[in-house]
Structure 1
């Protein structure tokens, strides 16, 4: 049986992943550790924006940083997070959630 604490933790994880850029960052980090400049180059967004989203992900224990000389290499704390994101992205692509289908009309009686 799943506990209320587990549901709360799952909700916190999903809230941390609720921004498209954070999903993209997690997808990039699924391939291995990256420094901020590598994420900026791969995602084509400004460095301050990437850093801001990394702070959110770090605060939610989704990513961790390890010093590499003058830079910090970010990686996922758990490979399951990468799979969760990959499955969500795949599912969204299959169902094209950006254009949801209209529910069937109720018959008039």
Structure 2
């Protein structure tokens, strides 16, 4: 299990265990984390699971695919560290990962 910290826009933190193989988005949904809507259910088709990855974790989470980059065009307030949480697969290497949600997913 990897401990993932989800930080709401207001600073509220939720630390949960997420099984390797799941996505960061699935970990949020299964643990009722507010701020990740995931309207498409993880198909990389809606951008409502947008998160900001802490700088020190960018290398470990990998680079966004071309499809993910296209979907990020639909997200609000995109930053260089923006990712779609449905596209970040959890592994033991991501134990301690911190992601922050934007103010709005719409």
Question: Which category of TM-score, normalised to the shorter sequence, fits these structures?
Answer: under 0.3
Q: Greater Rg, structure 1 or structure 2?
A: 1
User: TM-score scaled to structure 2, two decimals?
Assistant: 0.26
* Higher RCO, 1 vs 2 (CA within 8 Å, ≥6 residues apart): 2
Greater strand share, structure number: 2
